[in-house]
A = this chain, B = another copy of it.
Amino acid sequence: MATRNSAPKKNTAEQSPLETASPDWRDAGSRDERSRLIREALFRAAAEIVGEKGYQDASITFITQRAGVAQGTFYNHFESRQDILDQLLPALGEDMLAHVGACSNKGKTLFEREELGFRGFFSFLRTHPHFFRILNEAPSFAPKAYEAHLELVREGYMHFLRKARSSGEISGYSERELEVVTYVLMSARLYLGRYASQDGSNDEIPDWVVKAYCKLVRHGLSGG
């Protein structure tokens, strides 16, 4: 094509006057710091947009606009649109696991831990309102990332259940049957997520939901 000869002008027009709340990376000190901040701004913007509008509408134009940088800048930090989409779930997923793990660890028995972990998942959803959609749509838009995430969660859960089985808190389930249980419990959180993420409501998950879930799990597992 015609050689692009025009001289790039400074970013005069300040970014999208609308929703941009970009914690300004322009204040940065070192170049590395600045670069890091921009990368983070892009990442945050992508997470927000996917959380709000879905992967589908997370266009580069949108993401960079919200991050307050030029479109080209995106490609200094990520290889492609798919690249950043693929990184969303792993990054947030790790945070989620860490949070849930930390919550769960405060319990003593299996069921205490399960309840705390369950509650932890929903408190994470409240502090990370984008996570739910990022996770939910991942199978369609970031399948590999989703599989990896699933595997990670599954491993953790299986480990957790195996220990409980060894200690006798779970009875009547073979090893491979525990995997089935794992899937059921994992999926449950996803569907019950609707109790928590009702359109930006910042409410906690109702207590009776937790109770009902725990009841099901407790009897389902210990009486097996």
Contact = CB atoms under 8 A, between A and B. Distances in A.
* Copies of the polypeptide in the assembly: 4
Interface residues on A, range: 35 or more
B191 A82 contact: no
A176 interface: yes
A150 to B, nearest CB: 9
A184 interface: yes
A165 to B, nearest CB: 13
Interface string A213-224: 101110111111
Interface in A5-25: 5
A177 interface: yes
Contacts of A4: 79
Interface of A: 1-5, 35, 54-57, 59, 75-83, 136-137, 139-141, 172-174, 176-177, 180-181, 183-184, 186-188, 190-192, 194, 208-209, 211-213, 215-217, 219-224
